[in-house]
Amino acid sequence: MSQALIARHAHVSQTTISYLLNGKIQSCQRAKALGILAVQPGQFDELAERPAIGACRRARALYAIGHGRESISAACGLSVCTIGQIANSRYTSIDGRIDAAIRLAYRLLGDTQGTSWKAARRAANQGWAPPGAWDDETIDDPAAVPDWTGYCGTDRGWWVHKRQQLPMCLRCEAAHEQWLAEHAHLDPKLRNQAMFKARAGALSREADLAHDARELIRFGANTEQAAERLGVTRQHLQQALIRHPETERAAA
């Protein structure tokens, strides 16, 4: 947070914040001190610049599901050049107006598959994670990592990566290596049987998840309610629905 932003929320002058930070003053009035102590980290406002990492992740996620610069621009009003710069991580910080516009596009487009194969191909080549891999609560956290499968960090996640041809994440690589090590004592036949069972269980799970969600939605639940009932995040459920579209036979 900038000195000006802290000062606005604390209702003190920026000079006061600057002098405290630089050690030019060792104390201040009680009212000013209480105002500063009441400010919460990350308490941005419309005028404030904030880290661009959340906007970058949201733009890249939209690319991953086929929304290029043009469709994102149409949804939020930013220029295609600005959107491209954000997706390319050219900014370390952005102002509140740009951040709000990217959030709007993410809200409007994040649940639907786009039509730009070029954007999707670029995202796949770069390893950019789709909306379903991010948690809305942590996407702005620099330390957060995408959960591509809903099971990342497990052997099941490794199989979903392989089946869906998703960029492999390090956590799933490590989990699969651990699984192999734990089953190394088995003779080859039993180990292959165990691997086949693990693979089959992982590959059927997401399709079953999409089917169960559609059943709940037919009975009046919305996507968020269905996700809560099924024990997954809304983003993962949306991606499962996209990756497993309903066939005419299944609908019948």
Q: Do 236 and 172 share a domain, yes or no?
A: yes
DSSP assignments along 83-123, one per residue: HHHHHTT--SEEEHHHHHHHHHHHHHHTTS--S-HHHHHHH
Inside any domain, residue 85: yes
Q: Do 209 and 244 share a domain, yes or no?
A: yes
Q: Do 125 and 193 share a domain, yes or no?
A: no
Inside any domain, residue 141: no
Residue 213 is predicted with a pLDDT of 86
Domain span at residue 8 reads 3-37
3-state helix/strand/coil string of 58-90: HHHHHHHCCCCHHHHHHHHCCCHHHHHHHHCCC
What are the tens digits of pLDDT across the range 145-190?
888 777 788 888 888 878 777 778 888 889 889 988 888 888 888 8
Entry field: residues in the chain: 252
Q: Which residue has the higher pLDDT, 207 or 109?
A: 109
Tell me the C-alpha distance between 139 and 95, whole Å.
Answer: 17
Inside any domain, residue 147: no
Q: Do 247 and 159 share a domain, yes or no?
A: yes
Q: Which residues contact 112 (CB under 8 A, 6 or more apart)?
A: 65
The answer to whether 146 touches 136, Cβ cutoff 8 Å, is: no
Residue 203 is predicted with a pLDDT of 64
Inside any domain, residue 142: no
Inside any domain, residue 103: yes
Inside any domain, residue 137: no
Q: Do 245 and 160 share a domain, yes or no?
A: yes
Residue 114 is predicted with a pLDDT of 92
Number of domains within the chain: 3
The proportion of the chain whose per-residue pLDDT surpasses 70, expressed as a percent, equals: 94
Q: Do 189 and 246 share a domain, yes or no?
A: yes
What are the tens digits of pLDDT across the range 20-79?
999 988 888 899 999 999 998 877 766 677 889 999 999 999 999 999 999 999 999 999
0.95 exceeded by pTM = no
In which region does residue 113 sit, left (phi positive, over 0), alpha (psi from -120 to 50) or beta (all else)?
beta
Summary mean pLDDT of the chain = 85
Residue 183 is predicted with a pLDDT of 86
- Which range has the worst mean pLDDT, 127-141, 200-214, 234-248? 234-248
Tell me the C-alpha distance between 221 and 131, whole Å.
Answer: 21
Residue 46 is predicted with a pLDDT of 67
Burial 89-117 (b: 16+ CB within 10 A, else e): eebeebeeebbebbbbbbebbbbeebebe
